[in-house]
Structure formats: structure tokens, C-alpha cells
A and B are shown apart, each in its own frame.
Chain A
Amino acid sequence: MRHSFALKAESYELWLSPGQRDYRLHLGGEVIAPVAFSHHLGGSGILEIANETVPVRFAIDGDVLHLHVRGRTHILRYRDRLSEFDLSEVLASHDAARAPMPGVVVAINVSRGDAVSRGATLMLVESMKLEFVVRAPRGGVVDRVHFEVGQSFEQGAALVTFSDEGR
């Protein structure tokens, strides 16, 4: 069975198969073996990969893995089939203007029931010292504005959602 991990904008498909006392990593047509991981206390361990040993620090938060490997930190998300499907459904529908970064609402230019065209200014938001405009990802009728001026939001939050009328 293939598994999928997202790292930055990329998605990687891989799976493990059993080796003699360890595992083999199948990654994009390649087989890397042997691989094994020995845990130590408190989020640290040693990765063995093709007879090399690599110290790893890690923290796991749900399906998000934070790894410190060879002096650099990487954030990966494990995507099981079901949630991946749900996420792609939501993103593909373009029914919401989402926050590209966490921030605070500075001004709101639309309200429920407004018909907007694609690219219309919906909100002015601020993330620390940076101001930016949130634009409509598609034309439609504003179904809901999810935040008020002064409220803060997290990355990925739906700021304004649209209904199908006027599509």
C-alpha cells in the first residue's frame, strides 16, 4: 500500500516493506535498504539508512511530523487517503477565500448577499507589519463573512465563503 507525505509544496508517495531485521523504503521506483529507526528518550533517535547513521530529533503532532535532520528542520504531513480526498474536495470547489497566512482583519469590503466578480477585493488583512488584500477566487454571491474587523485568524481559515447563486 502506498502512503503519501506532503513536504512543502511537494507530495511524495512511498511505502515500507520488511527486510531481514529492518525495512526497505520504496520511493519513486527506487528501493533504499536497509532503513531502521531506533528510538531514544524524548523525541530523539538514530536513523539507519543504507548503512549510514543519521541522528534525528522529532516531534509528532497528529498527522504532522516535525523533523530535525542534518541541521535542518522539516515539516511533513502524513496524508491518509480519506482526509486527502476531503481536503482536495474543499480546495477544488473554490467556495472560500482562505487566509494564506495567519493575521488580523483590517477592513471588510463585502457583506452577505453581495455579488462579486473574480478578483474583487473582499478584505484587507494584516499579518504583523504586512498588509495585503484578499481577493475573490471566483465570482459569486457572498454567503458568509467569517470574521469581523479586528479578529485574528489562522493560516488556511475560510475568510469569506460563496454560495452557488450567480456562478
Chain B
Amino acid sequence: MQKLPFDTVLIANRGEIAVRIIKTLRKLGLRSAIVYHEVDAATLAVSMADTAIAIEGSSPIAAYLDAEQIIASARRANVGALHPGYGFLSESPEFARAVSNACIAFVGPTPESIELMGDKIRARKFVQQAGFLVAPSAVEEDDPETFASRARDLGLPLLVKPSAGGGGKGIQIVRDLGALDDAIVQARREGLRYFGDGRLYVERCFEKPRHIEVQVLGDFFGNVVHLFERECSVQRRFQKIIEETPSPALSANLQKRVCEMAVGIARSANYRNAGTVEFIFDGHEFHFLEMNTRLQVEHPVTEMVTGIDLVAEQLHVAAGYELTLSQSDIVSNGHAIEARLYAEAPEREYAPTTGKILMLEYPEYEGVRIDSGIVQGQKISTAFDPMLAKIVVHSATRREAALKAAHVMRQLVLLGCETNADFLARLLMDDTFLSGQIHTGYLDENPHLAVGQCGSDLPAILAAAALLTKPVRDAADNVPKLHAELGKWRN
């Protein structure tokens, strides 16, 4: 790869994604700078970065959303480029513009692309006009008076979504038309609160829909390539927990079709850098959902099967260079699965959990990549997203990858904070999952998967607990003395 025109890159993010970006910077011989809020001072990313600059805010999240402070830090560290990671400011067109205005290369698409795709309604109209299929929907602002009736005409079930949405926030599912009005009120309230935007649209929900997305990469010379699809149908509360590539749902023809659609959409949007085009697949057709203008959480599965470092490609494009990859160079080998380790309790409706990491050990295996930003001793709070790490497994076949991932879930030791590790292991070994017959409603239809049983392990668990608890052992140890005393007395 050509030498990059900058030697230091600022990471405007935290946790596992910051660690992952630093690894590529090191590989490329670049220096890393990071901004951090004091609650993250003892984290892995901050200790790995060459330069770390503290930022402040009324809350930790507010600090990572403070564009002005972050750009001032970038200037202080004299960086040539800024990588926003995912979340936080990664999809803010104003931020991308401000970074460019400060003469720092923004590692992401142009502000115009972020603006276009960030507004879900505008994006759908754009994609539809470009000649691609979008999911049947009713947009409120087309005619607010008739919104509810147009929504009803789509047929049940419906999804009510905030226009400025993302990450599943604010989405309401309506299975009964009587609940539509309440869902509209709730979605609007959450849209206003999370995104400062109360505009809504309603989408028809398909029977057993599958979430298929395509990784694309574009440059400033009009080249756009795809890096194949990912399937992310295993979701809870509209958020992905297991992602994989290739999709078990697609024949070679369907795979080709969806990848070409994604390239077509990215090309018509004049898209630069890495992005993901998301579709709903109803078993026959792909309907455009949205385009994410950033590196996604689940990008490692694509890297595993293609051998391409997406962050390195992003930096290369951000430097203004032409893509060195042509479509025919990009080949997918084997199968990769990612499972997201969360601080949450699946059996309590996936409620987030907190704690302090008292022990952390990841197993090491060939073909296993663990992207993690946590360290032993770290406190897990609800200040940020509950994702702790991503376990990514690459194998020859899907079944092998799933079973190996389940094995890794059982081998990893994370004590001090309840996680979903056991649930993920059960899920990865579930017959329905292994058969590939998954869809976005799979977890809701199989609530038993969320509940773990101690079963035959119970005596061992309680024996270990008893033997490790001093008062319990002491009580047993004192018995012989008592017996001895009794013996004397009897004599």
C-alpha cells in the first residue's frame, strides 16, 4: 500500500473500535492519538494510543459528542486524519465538515453523503428514484393528515420508525391496528428525545424477514466495489447480536443480485469510503432499508473472509488515493460468524447489567479474533452501550464456525459482571440457528433460548461455592472439636 500523507490519526471514539483502529495504525506505521473522558482513563484504548487527550463533558457521552473540543484536541495533537469509529459523531455531517475545514482528513464519506443517507426518508426517495426497490412504506410528511390511514393500508404488522433514526432506537412494532396511534406517539417522543427530530414513517413488516447488508467501498475516482454481504437477522429489540457472512439464505444468483444493487446505490450516491447498504429480504426480493455511512460493528466478519483490512482501505481512500482493489480481486473464503458479548441479562428481557471485571481471560485459537476494549479491573456502567467484546470465528463451513464460536463462548472467562455469553453459546448451537432458517423474529419466537438452566451442574456449583465460603468451611471444621468434647464428656 502507498505511503499515506499523514503520520498521526486521531480516534474520536472509545472501547473495542478504538483498539481495533489503533492496531491497523500500528501495522501501517502510523501514530495514534485518542480523546477520552476520565471514566475511560484506565481503558485499553487509552493505554495503547501514542497520545491521549482528556476531554470533558456534562456526561461521558456528552464529551464524545463535543465536536469543538475534539477538533481542538486533533489540532493540538497535530493529526493529519481523524477516524470517527461508529456511533458518537461518526454520522454527523456537521462534524465531518468541521473536520475537513480544519484541514484534517475525515476518515469516512463526504458530508453530503452522510446528510443524504442520514435522513432515512430522503435516502429512501433517492434510492427509489435511482430505480431500486424500497420497503413499502408511508411517510408522514408527504401528507400528515392521511398518515395514519396510509399506514393502515400497508397491512399488518407495521413498524413505526423515526426518520432520523438509527441503531433500532424508537422503533415500535404494531401487530394490531388499535395500537397504531399509541405507537406513533411513542416513536415520535423517542425520535425527539434521541435525535431531536419527531418526523416519522411507517414500514410494512414482512413475514420472517431477513436482514441482509452489503459492505461497499468507494473512492474519489468513481470506483465502487463490494465486499460481499453479511446477514444480521438474529436480533433482539431491533439490535443485532449475531452477524455472519456469507448469508445462508442466498443462492449464488441472489448474492450477486444484492451485491450489485448495493454497488448501484453507492455509485448513484457518489459514495466515497466504506459504507453498508442494508436490505430486507422477503425470500424473493431485496428491499432497500437504509445506508450506514460508517464502519460497522460487524465489519470483522467481512475482513475474515476477504482478508482485507477495512480500516486500512478507509485511510487509503481518505488520503485521496485510488482504490487498489478491483472487484475481481475480492474473494470470499469460508464462513465467518460474529457474536456480540454484552453486559446484559437475556432472561430479564436483556436488561443491561453492571459490575467490575474481576477476571478476564480470552482463549486463543486459530481462526478466532476477539475485538475487545475491556480490561480486568474495569467498571462496567450504563454510561455507554453494553457491548463488551466481539467474538469472531472463521471456519471452512457455517456449522463449524458456529460450533467453534459456541466453544469459545464457553471457554472465555469474564467474572464480575453478568454477560450474555451462555445465551450466545446456546443460540449458536440451536438447531434452528444451525439450519440457517433464521429471521428477525427468531428470538421473539424462541423465548426459551433466553433462559439458562444449571441442570446437572448444580451440585458442582454449590459445592464450589460452599468450599470457597469461609463461614461455611469454618462451621464444618469446628465440628470435630465439638465431637471430641462430646466424646470426653461421655467418657
Q: Chain A residues in contact with chain B, CB under 8 A?
A: 1, 3, 5, 7-8, 12, 14-18, 23, 25, 27, 32, 35-37, 43, 47, 49, 54, 56-61, 65-76, 78, 80, 100-104, 106, 127-131, 152, 154-155
A73 lies within 8 A of B464 (CB): no
Contact partner, B352, options A35, A65, A128, Cβ 8 Å: A128
Residues of B within 8 A of A5 (CB): 462, 465-466, 469
Contact partner, A72, options B348, B361, B457, Cβ 8 Å: B457
Q: Which of B111-119, B139-147, B417-425 contacts A (4 or more CB under 8 A)?
A: B417-425
Contact partner, A25, options B167, B385, B463, Cβ 8 Å: B463
Contact A73 B419, CB 8 Å, known A59-B359, A67-B465, A152-B382: yes
The verdict on B128 contacting chain A, using a C-beta distance below 8 Å, is no
**Considering the complex of A and B, which 9 residue pairs feature the smallest CB-CB distances, nearest first?**
A71-B410, A59-B358, A16-B476, A66-B415, A101-B351, A37-B467, A59-B415, A35-B463, A102-B382
User: How many angstroms from the CA of A32 to the CA of B460 in the assembled complex?
Assistant: 10
B459 lies within 8 A of A27 (CB): yes
A101 lies within 8 A of B348 (CB): yes
Contact partner, B469, options A17, A78, A101, Cβ 8 Å: A78
The verdict on B257 contacting chain A, using a C-beta distance below 8 Å, is no
Q: How many A-B residue pairs have CB under 8 A?
A: 168
A18 lies within 8 A of B480 (CB): yes
Q: Which one of B347, B454, B462, B463 has the greatest number of beta carbons of chain A within 10 Å?
A: B463
The residue on B at minimum CB distance from A155 is B354
CB contacts under 8 Å to A, within B327-386, are 345, 347-354, 356, 358-359, 361, 381-383, 385-386
A127 lies within 8 A of B466 (CB): no
Q: Which one of B410, B413, B418 has the greatest number of beta carbons of chain A within 10 Å?
A: B413
A66 lies within 8 A of B465 (CB): no
A to B CB contacts below 8 Å, 22 in the list: A1-B475, A3-B469, A7-B454, A8-B347, A23-B466, A47-B464, A57-B359, A57-B415, A59-B415, A60-B468, A67-B468, A69-B460, A76-B465, A78-B471, A101-B351, A101-B353, A102-B381, A102-B382, A103-B382, A130-B351, A152-B382, A154-B354
The residue on B at minimum CB distance from A68 is B413
Residues of A within 8 A of B354 (CB): 102, 154-155
B353 lies within 8 A of A102 (CB): yes
User: How many angstroms from the CA of A35 to the CA of B472 in the assembled complex?
Assistant: 13
Contact partner, B413, options A47, A57, A100, Cβ 8 Å: A57
Chain A interface, DSSP helix/strand/loop, else mixed:
strand
User: How many angstroms from the CA of A155 to the CA of B354 in the assembled complex?
Assistant: 8
Residues of B within 8 A of A37 (CB): 463-464, 467-468
A66 lies within 8 A of B358 (CB): yes
A72 lies within 8 A of B422 (CB): yes
User: How many angstroms from the CA of A47 to the CA of B467 in the assembled complex?
Assistant: 9
The verdict on B479 contacting chain A, using a C-beta distance below 8 Å, is yes
**A23-B467, A35-B463, A103-B382 known; 19 other A-B pairs, CB under 8 Å?**
A8-B347, A14-B462, A15-B475, A25-B459, A57-B359, A58-B464, A68-B359, A69-B457, A76-B461, A76-B465, A101-B352, A102-B354, A103-B352, A106-B193, A128-B385, A131-B190, A152-B381, A155-B353, A155-B354
User: How many angstroms from the CA of A80 to the CA of B459 in the assembled complex?
Assistant: 20
Residues of A within 8 A of B239 (CB): 129
Interface size on B, residues (CB 8 A): 58
Q: Smallest CB–CB gap between B430 and chain A, Å?
A: 16
Q: Smallest CB–CB gap between A132 and chain B, Å?
A: 9
User: How many angstroms from the CA of A67 to the CA of B359 in the assembled complex?
Assistant: 10
Q: Smallest CB–CB gap between B459 and chain A, Å?
A: 6
The verdict on B477 contacting chain A, using a C-beta distance below 8 Å, is yes
B473 lies within 8 A of A25 (CB): no
The verdict on B414 contacting chain A, using a C-beta distance below 8 Å, is yes
A66 lies within 8 A of B464 (CB): no
Contact A130 B467, CB 8 Å, known A66-B359, A66-B416: no
Contact A56 B359, CB 8 Å, known A74-B454, A104-B382, A128-B352: no
Residues of B within 8 A of A76 (CB): 461-462, 465
Residues of B within 8 A of A68 (CB): 359, 413, 415
A73 lies within 8 A of B476 (CB): no
Q: Smallest CB–CB gap between A104 and chain B, Å?
A: 7
A72 lies within 8 A of B464 (CB): no
Residues of B within 8 A of A60 (CB): 468
User: How many angstroms from the CA of A129 to the CA of B190 in the assembled complex?
Assistant: 10
The verdict on B51 contacting chain A, using a C-beta distance below 8 Å, is no
The verdict on B23 contacting chain A, using a C-beta distance below 8 Å, is no
Residues of A within 8 A of B454 (CB): 7-8, 74
Residues of A within 8 A of B75 (CB): none
User: How many angstroms from the CA of A23 to the CA of B463 in the assembled complex?
Assistant: 10
A65 lies within 8 A of B169 (CB): no
Residues of B within 8 A of A66 (CB): 358-359, 415-416
Contact A67 B476, CB 8 Å, known A32-B459, A127-B351, A129-B168: no
B475 lies within 8 A of A3 (CB): yes
Residues of A within 8 A of B350 (CB): 130
A58 lies within 8 A of B459 (CB): no
User: How many angstroms from the CA of A73 to the CA of B454 in the assembled complex?
Assistant: 10
